[in-house]
Amino acid sequence: MREWGKYTGVAFEMIATVVLFVFVGRWVDAQWPMSFPVGTFFGALLGVGASLYVILKKF
Amino acid sequence: MGHKKGMPNFSKTFTTSSFRKSFVTAVFSAFFAVSVWASRDSVASDHGVTTAVSTHEVTIANHEGADAHSAAAHADAHGAEASLKEEKFAPGKMIMDHIADAHDWHLWGEGHGSVSIPLPVILYTESKGLTVFSSARFEHGHAAYEGFKLTEKGKVTWEQEGNTEAIYDISLTKNVVAMLIAVLTILIITLGMAKSYTKNKGKAPKGFHNLVEPLILFIRDDVAKRSIGHKTDKFMPLLLTIFSFIFVNNVFGLIPIFPGGANVTGNIAITMVLALVIFLTVNLNGNKYYWKHIFLPDVPVWMYVIIIPIEVLGVVLKPFVLMLRLFANITAGHIIILGFFSLIFIFGAMNQALGYAVSPLSVAFTVFMGLLEMLVAFLQAFVFTLLSAIYIGMAVEEHHH
């Protein structure tokens, strides 16, 4: 039971991770405006990467 | 398991598939019969109106014709529908009123004709101090009392506009009373069991206690012991309390009238408190391995910037999802059942025959959903307890791999 307990929140953890990084990216964009939203773009990419890394590390 | 010789094989004579077939056949033949009867009735009573166009005028003409021709039993139903016409049926409002908390316990009827049990309103304000009165004084939101009034959404506010003084509403609302009834039920069951166990020491439990004992043993052996291990006994009171509280409230919520019907476990504030208890239990009992896993994970140091926020997020998210899961499942169940009943009146408002035709199907679906909700009532209580036990187990785990 305990072994698979860590997978119970996986879906929401992944969503929350991506959302967290996107919001950090948006904050960056608001602070230093650029010609296109670099912060949001790389924030989302980094968020997806980070969520995958955290989930895969658990296996 | 084998069958004894000479015993009739019940599992063969009464299989689920044969039951299902006959059930479906019965439902559809009832549906067909009623729709035929209803359409014959409306056609027979048509004078001049030949096409069953579902406009308002035609429906009313239909009713008048039907009233003149049909039996007294029919007239009752028509009368009910006529009164329904006075206030347009709003399914969304009806459903939201039923799943929301309220200052009175609605029993039956709509609008002015509704019958409900008034509950005490207890308010605290800086200027007036403690004010206690019955919610019957509000007359379902039509009257103000002692400067307070009830809004459309069932909240107590000041009578005069613009008064922004804070009102601390600690009333015994529908959900509070429902919770007290549930707690009383649990106390009667468990205290009775404790008494009978001390009296009949070493003997098997009797009657209703025989039903409850496996449930408690199931939570202890299959849920708690497997997840928490040798520290189970410390958390058993909490897990059993949470399980029985959620389960009893879920089951009471399925009873359509007075002692039940309140949407207690489908209220996000209540599930939030339950989840908060689990959150505090997990984090106050977390050992050094649990905290090391969060703040010093086994990853390269430069990854800490990314991993630590995610792990901290996970700590908050787990109880958050517990809260959301229970709330969403129970509320959805209540909405679906109320929605099926609303279908009768939605179709009935379009065309009376259509209302009669839809009702058996609607009732059949409600029966089906009711059975499913009984499973969900147990399942959600079980899932909440199981996940709580797993989270506690992860926090108190000694060795680390």
Of B310, B320, B393, the CB nearest to A17: B310
Q: What is the pLDDT of residue A1?
A: 59
> B26 vs A14, B22, B33, CA distance in Å?
47, 6, 10
Residue B24, pLDDT score: 62
CA-based angle B219:B224:B229, to the nearest 5? 150
Over residues B51-82, the pLDDT tens digits come to 333 333 333 334 444 444 444 444 444 444 44
Among B306, B314, B386, select the one facing A50 at the smallest CB separation: B306
Structure tokens at B338: 């109320």
B118 and B140 Cβ atoms separated by less than 8 Å: no
- The closest alpha carbon to B294, from B399, B395, B401, belongs to B395
Sign of CA dihedral A5, A6, A11, A17: positive
Count of C-beta atoms within a 10 Å radius of residue B234:
12
Residue with tokens 């019957």: B136
Q: Give every residue of chain B whose pLDDT is below 50, as ranges.
A: 1-5, 7-14, 39-85
Test the A interface: residue of B303, B313, B388 with most A CBs within 10 Å: B313
Global ipTM: 0.76
- Angle between the B304-350 and A10-31 helix axes, to the nearest 10 degrees? 110
Q: For residue A12, which residues of chain B lie inside 8 Å, CB to CB?
A: 317, 320-321
**Closest residue on chain A to B396 (Cα):** A2
Alpha-carbon span B119 to B287, nearest angstrom = 46
CB under 8 Å to B134, separation ≥6 — which residues? Answer: B118, B119, B120, B121
User: How far is B344 from B315, CA to CA, in rounded Å?
Assistant: 46
Average pLDDT over residues A45-50: 90
Mean pLDDT across chain A = 84
Q: Measure A2 CA to nearest chain B CA, in Å.
A: 5
A interface test, pick of B293, B308, B310 with most A CB neighbours within 10 Å: B310
B390 vs A8: CB contact, 8 Å cut-off?
Answer: yes
Phi, psi of B120 (to 5 degrees): -65, 135
Residue B8 C-alpha from the chain's centroid: 40
- Quick one: pLDDT at residue B163? 79
Give yes or no for B397 touching A (CB within 8 A): yes
Cβ–Cβ below 8 Å for B307 and A13? no
Q: Where are the alpha helices (DSSP H) in B201-303?
A: 208-218, 225-228, 232-254, 268-285, 288-295
Spatial contact of B208 and B196, defined as CB atoms under 8 Å apart: no
Interface test with B, best of A7, A8, A14, A42 (most B CBs within 10 A): A8
Percent of chain A with pLDDT over 90: 19
A49: nearest CA in chain B?
B306
Q: Could you tell me the residue ranges of all domains in chain A?
A: 2-58
Contact A2 B227 (CB under 8 A): yes
pLDDT at B95: 85
For position B283, what pLDDT does the model report? 94
Q: Which residues lie below 8 Å from residue B84, measured CB to CB, with a gap of 6+?
A: B110, B345, B348, B349
What is the C-alpha to C-alpha distance for residues B376 and B332, in angstroms, rounded to an integer? 11
Whether residue A59 is predicted with pLDDT greater than 80 in this model: the reply is no
